[in-house]
Structure 1
Amino acid sequence: MKVILTFLFSIWGLFAPESIVVKNGDYFISQMGKLYVEDGSVLYMSKEKNEMLLKMVDPRGMFKEGKYLWIVDFDRLVRLDLSTGKYKNFFASSPKYLNDIVKYKEKYYVTDTYGNTVYKLNDEKLEVTYNLKRPNGITTDGEYLYIISFTSPAVVYKCDENKVIETYTLNEVKGGDGIVYADNMFFISGYTSKNVVIYNSSWKKIGEKNGFSSPADIYYSNGNLYVPDMKEGKIYVFKVENE
């Protein structure tokens, strides 16, 4: 089987978009802006309106559940109540570069790329769970966690709740950034290799899309793949199809 990504449209005019969450046709977008400068924001875009939900420093990965939008900033995890606009911060003891988030077995896991650490939110504190080299994007198939490294070549760490089970080296991906599991496939973006590579559940390459400038934290929804390109200021949307 070979998988192709067919371009549908782009969301443009953004300021270093890093991540997107799509719910019921509406978009939640994190814009990093300039690194370590308080010019980042989280946007909400729908057919009816566009609005800024929160000003931040460098918002990155996001996860939506119910009325809450979880957002990773460079030094904290933020839980935004979309019904009230109020938010709560959760901290680690010595974060370096918090990056992405996923929910796995009722717990939230957050990567710290330059801290070489993955945290688990426990009792409202981010506690160290794994020590890995340059962990960036994170996803789950429900049974295991999968973490992509911001290295060249990129490495995927397959983990249970306590330890690394297996590793996979992906020679096609340099500067591993986003990773998402959907429909028995893994979609991975290479920030440095400027591509998105698709693998089956046995880690055999089944598709690739090149030509990006800086693909970041990707998102899959209803057969579409969303690819933020930070340097281009756009989010590209592709239809995932079998050739």
Structure 2
Amino acid sequence: MKFSTKPATTTLCALSLLLFLGISCGPSSTNEEREETTVQENTTTEPSMELLWETSEELTTNESVHYEESDGLLYVANIEGGPDEKDGVGSLSKVSTDGAILEKDWVSGLNAPKGMTVVGDFLYVTDIDRLVEIELSTGEINQTFEIEDAVFLNDAATDGQKVYFSDMRTNTIHYLEDGNIHTFATDQNSINGLRVASDGTVYGLDSEGLKQYGSDGSFEIINDEVTGGDGLIIIDEDTFIASRWGGEIFLIENGTATKILDTTAEESNTADIGFIPEENIVLVPTFFKNKVAAYQLSY
């Protein structure tokens, strides 16, 4: 049988044309697409804090704010008198998460209350040389723990059982456990802010920076830029928020600090900060400005 070569040649040419068109017109990575991809890859969110609300100026020299997850309220410690004076004029206030002052004098008759934390049914607050245990449901003082040789108790934190608290002037971290006071770490120069991670690791701020403590009170410095810090928040094992009293707040991420708020020009202090984790809201006690300010954290 005789075969013609013409159809085969035509078919081959058609196939070649289709292949060429497929290569030329099919999906490809254009310069514009590559540039867009590069822009998307290089886009990062700069950490920042945006003001959401402020309370009225009725919280006299408020030093600390604690967000309590169990009742969804803010607890504010007001020194009112001198920060180391046993004058009986200090108080604790209840505030809503939108800034309304619910009970200005929820607890009164304290001296110079500062750091707070909650374990079970009780709120614990440092008060110069004693740790005060307050019933959360009633605001009644249940008992006080006098701390031998204490001078200037400051922040408080918990792992759910122990209550850790710092003495800024004796350079000591103590803890309360089963009704007894113990020493956790000494020679921590001007130790102030404390927090405990979910795994029980203790972190602190002192004149050397941000420290991570072992169970025996030994430590390593994980950031030496934010020295003389006040309030401390743990975001995760690599990310922290730290404040300096004078008006600065920093994001510390993988050991590196970035300043995300500076209110020193306004003379608005940033003392022992609190945090609403599910909303990424940082709560700032402004001390001499007599109000709490809430900021949306972005990072």
> Do they fold alike, i.e. is TM over 0.5?
yes
SS in 2 for 1:176: coil
1:50/1:41 CA distance change after superposition, 3 Å: same
Distance 1:68 1:122 in 2: 14
Stretch of structure 1 that moved more, 72-81 or 97-106? 97-106
Counterpart contact for 1:63–1:71, Cα < 8 Å: yes
1:40 corresponds in structure 2 to 90
Residue of structure 2 aligned with 1:227, choices 267, 278, 284 = 284
In structure 1, the residue matched to 2:54 is: 10
Q: Deviations over 1:16-57 (max 9, x none)?
A: 001112234422111011221322101123469424222200
Does the 8 Å contact 2:202/2:212 carry over to 1? yes
After TM superposition, give the deviation of residue 163 of structure 1 in Å: 2.3
Matched, 1:21 2:78: no
Match in the other structure for 1:239: 296
Note the alpha carbon deviations across 1:47-95, whole angstroms, 9 max, x for none: 6942422220000011123431111111111110123424211122110
Q: Following superposition of structure 1 onto structure 2, how do residues 97-112 of structure 1 map, counting pairs within 5 Å?
A: 97-104=152-159, 106-112=161-167
Relative to its length, the structure with more helix (as a share) is 2
1:177 alignment partner AA: D
Which residue of structure 2 lines up, in the alignment, with residue 126 of structure 1?
181
Structure 1 length-normalised TM = 0.89
Distance 1:48 1:123 in 2: 34
Q: CA separation in 1, counterparts of 2:141 and 2:232?
A: 29
Answering whether residue 187 of structure 2 is matched by residue 137 of structure 1, we say: no
The aligned counterpart of 2:219 is 165
Which residue does 1:211 correspond to in 2? 263
Letter in 1 for 2:251: I
**Which sections of structure 1, spanning at least 5 residues, go unmatched?**
none
Instruction: Find 1:71's aligned residue among 90, 109, 125.
Output: 125
Alpha-carbon distance between aligned partners in 2 of 1:38 and 1:77, rounded to the nearest angstrom: 15
After superposition, the Cα gap between the structure-2 partners of 1:187 and 1:64, relative to the gap in structure 1 and judged at 3 Å, is: same
**Contact between 2:49 and 2:261, CA under 8 Å: does it hold in 1?**
yes
CA contact (8 A) 1:15 1:32 kept: yes
Shift of 1:175: 3.0
Indicate the structure (1 or 2) with the bigger Cα radius of gyration: 2
Report the aligned-residue RMSD. Answer: 2.0
Quote how far apart the aligned CAs of 1:179 are.
0.8
Contact residue 91 and residue 126 of structure 1 kept, 8 A: no
Aligned equivalents of 2:212, 2:194: Cα separation in 1: 10
Question: What is the identity percentage for the equivalent residue pairs of Structure 1 and Structure 2?
Answer: 22
**Under a length normalisation based on structure 2, what TM-score does the superposition of the two structures give?**
0.73
Greater strand content: 1
Structure 2: how far apart are the matches of 1:90 and 1:34? 21
Question: What is residue 143 of structure 2 aligned with on the other side?
Answer: 88
Gaps of 5+ in 2: 1-43
Give the 3-state SS of the residue equivalent to 1:139 in structure 2. Answer: strand
Residue 250 of structure 2 contacts residue 257 of structure 2 at CA under 8 Å; is this kept in 1?
Answer: yes
Count of residue pairs brought into register by the alignment: 236
